Amino acid sequence: MSSPTTLVSRYLIGLQDRITSAVALVDGGRFVSDRWKKPKGELLQGQGITQILEGGEVFERAGCGFSHVSGPRLPPSATQHRPELAGAPFEAMGVSLVFHPRNPHVPTVHMNVRMIAAHPAQGPSVSWFGGGMDLTPYYGVQADAVHFHQTCKNALDPFGVDKYPRFKTWCDEYFFLKHRGEQRGVGGVFYDDFAEFGFDGNFAMMRAVGDAFLDAYLPIVDRRQHTPYGERERAFQLYRRGRYVEFNLVWDRGTHFGLQSGGRSESILLSMPPLVSWSYDRTDPKGSPEERLTREFLVRKDWL
């Protein structure tokens, strides 16, 4: 019988392949696959597969990474809610992706599913799961936000009708730029440190989230990828991408976990857009599509 970590690892590698194959068909380009390994003797050991598509017709940069690593001590970012495990040896595995489309009318998307297992000197091993997905539009469309949230809800409802509203709120609270006082996007679902169902139930819910991603995102890409745009929309897209970079570097626990634990920088920073800009004290005209994004979409609301 396969071990729990082997079952999770097999699922994650298959999920990565399914997602990148589907996205390559949409784009017409191909993902480059980079298999990497951190050798013994380093702070963090393990291996992974980074798949990346750059300069595509639809996606300017699309990165999807799988990693399975282990280390001698859990970093602080992983034990905020589990202080009794601070310093324990651990292994972590997951799939994380961020897709940055070329057309400003197609939203950027993020998805991550993962498991962490700690092996304390005293007592049995402890595992917990996390995951979720969120949507970051540059030009907001109500129907897109509704579709994305409904797909997330449909995936989670079999595990309890409380899960979507609970994880939706968690997503809103997590993907919030405190220094800007604004949401990163229209949200989605997010959960972390989850161990309420036992291994089988926790793993099943993680699979439900991962399996829902393509249904949540690709219909939006199909509807928006041919929308005309010009220099104005492109400039706004690059400006808003700056907020994405700020969140990932300043607030994201996954980025902090990877860097604090000695992870592979290229894979950790896979989420960064290829081009980005910042403007000092930008103000958009009231009623413009750009102003509406902040006023109507970068706010916490019930999309369903």
Positions annotated as catalytic residues are 110
> Do 298 and 182 form a contact (C-beta atoms < 8 A)?
yes
Closest alpha carbon to 260 in 101, 127, 77, 61? 77
How far apart are alpha carbons 28 and 24 in whole angstroms?
A: 6
Integer-rounded Cα Rg, in Å, for the chain is 19
Q: Which two tokens stand for residue 21?
A: 């194959």
How far apart are alpha carbons 79 and 71 in whole angstroms?
A: 14
> E strands within 23-181?
32-38, 45-54, 59-71, 90-101, 108-118, 126-136, 176-177
| Placement of tokens 């292994």 in the chain | 91
How far apart are alpha carbons 79 and 84 in whole angstroms?
A: 8
How far apart are alpha carbons 304 and 295 in whole angstroms?
A: 18
Q: Which two tokens stand for residue 102?
A: 């070329």
- Please enumerate, as own/partner, the contacts of 246-249 that have beta carbons within 8 Å and a separation of 24 or more: 246/177, 246/179, 246/180, 247/175, 247/177, 247/184, 248/272
Instruction: List 112's β-bridge partners, or say none.
Output: 96, 132
Cα angle vertex 181, ends 247, 258, to 5°?
Answer: 20
